[in-house]
Amino acid sequence: MSIITLKQSKHNDKSVIKLVFDYDRDLINAVEKIPNCQWSNTMACWYINYRTDYRHFLLRFIDEKHFKKSGREIKKPVIEVPKDEKLVVKNNKSEIWLSQFRQYLENKRYSKNTVENYTLHVNHFLNYFKGENPEDLTNEDINKYVHEYIIRGQRSTSFQSVAISALKKFFSIVQNVCIDIDEFERPKKERHLPQVFNQKEIKRLLNSVSNVKHKLILSIIYSSGLRLGESVNLKLSDIDTRRKLICIRQAKGKKDRYSLLSESIIPLLKIYYNTYKPKIWLFENQESGQYSKSSVQKIFRKAKAKAKIKRFGGVHSLRHSFATHLLDKGTDLRYIQELLGHRSSKTTEIYTHVTKRDIGKIISPLDQLDFDID
């Protein structure tokens, strides 16, 4: 199997990321599908223009196994945030307002991740202007920051969107500012089809796991359509074997919801209870604490490798597969929306683009031709 080495370099006075690997026809076919990826005769390798999210970008098109190096592999970042830099100025209101902004978010019960990300983005914005008072900043300053730091710096659209959301929230609560927050908008959101495993791949994945706890974790995520964080937040009291339901408490958007508890999982649950005897959390570590997300991700990667599944996709693909397979079987989209906990039906409708239920009924025009194959 060919391993790709990523190297930052210069080509025609532009920063690029070189993709260096031994000849592999299958890998070349995959690389050719990467937008704006080109072959360079002078560098004798494929390359893409430099972008800060190049790891995340490349993992959309190439399986993570091709990036292993010295026992380590590149990982998709959860979210791109600026570096946590301390404000260097002291004789203005920036530090005070930043502290008050964090307090405001915490009082409004924003999630811990949102508080940290919003505060980091506002902190970085204020540092960018060398600690000037927020009262002295204008819309032109925000446009300058977006263009020079985010656009020219080739930050991702998700980075820009979070930055704009943070600044809009910040300038909506501070006093005596000259900024009109309605004048700047978030970028157009990139839309990517969800990565889905077929049912044969799911079966191979689950059959490749011998550890009872590990098998149960992956089985519940797939059979109930859970997010990774939701799976490790489950408590024993959230499992209702009699009604065959799982209660997901205070999930995304701080909403409670119910999802399915597969009947096939109940015997596995009993074996797991008798073997591990969890006390509070459904999945606990050796100190009886809450199981970590990274542990689940490691379990998934090992199972995927053992099952020889080459298709790209992480733990969240099990949730995508749950929704798509329900849709394939004719389940009403409104029920799937409820099970997944989507606020808007538009979010759930993306699965109509990957389901085979209706696409499979379409006959290719080639199938209607009588032609020779030898």
- Alpha-carbon distance values, 321 to 245, 287, 314, 330 (Å): 19, 32, 11, 14
Higher pLDDT, 57 or 77: 57
How sure is the predictor about 67, in pLDDT bands with cuts at 50, 70 and 90?
A: confident
Report for 205-214, 307-316, 333-342: range of highest mean pLDDT? 205-214
**Amino acid letter, residue 331:** T
Per-residue pLDDT tens for 268-325? Answer: 999 999 999 999 999 998 888 889 989 999 999 999 999 999 888 889 999 999 988 9
Residue 39: count other Cβ atoms within 10 Å of its Cβ.
13
Give the integer Cα–Cα distance in Å for 274 and 266: 13
Burial label, 319 (beta-carbon count in 10 A; 0-12, 13-18, 19+): buried
**Amino acid letter, residue 203:** K
* pLDDT reported for residue 82: 57
Q: Is the pLDDT confidence value at 144 over 50?
A: yes
Average pLDDT, the chain: 82
- Alpha-carbon distance values, 137 to 130, 167, 186, 211 (Å): 11, 12, 19, 57
Q: What is the DSSP string of 25-70?
A: HHHHHHHHTSTT-EEETTTTEEEEE--TTHHHHHTTTS-GGGG-BT
Give the integer Cα–Cα distance in Å for 92 and 94: 6
Return the H-helix or E-strand segment holding 206: helix 199-207
Q: What is the DSSP string of 270-337?
A: HHHHHHH--SSBSSB-TTSSBPPHHHHHHHHHHHHHHTT--S---THHHHHHHHHHHHHTT--HHHHH
φ/ψ (deg, to 5) at 79: -160, 145
Domains and CATH numbers, the chain: 5-67 (no CATH), 94-183 (1.10.150.130), 199-359 (1.10.443.10)
Query: Cβ distance 37 to 18 under 8 Å?
Result: no
How sure is the predictor about 86, in pLDDT bands with cuts at 50, 70 and 90?
A: very low
* pLDDT reported for residue 248: 92
Look up residue 232 and give its two tokens.
């490790």
Q: Is the pLDDT confidence value at 93 over 80?
A: no
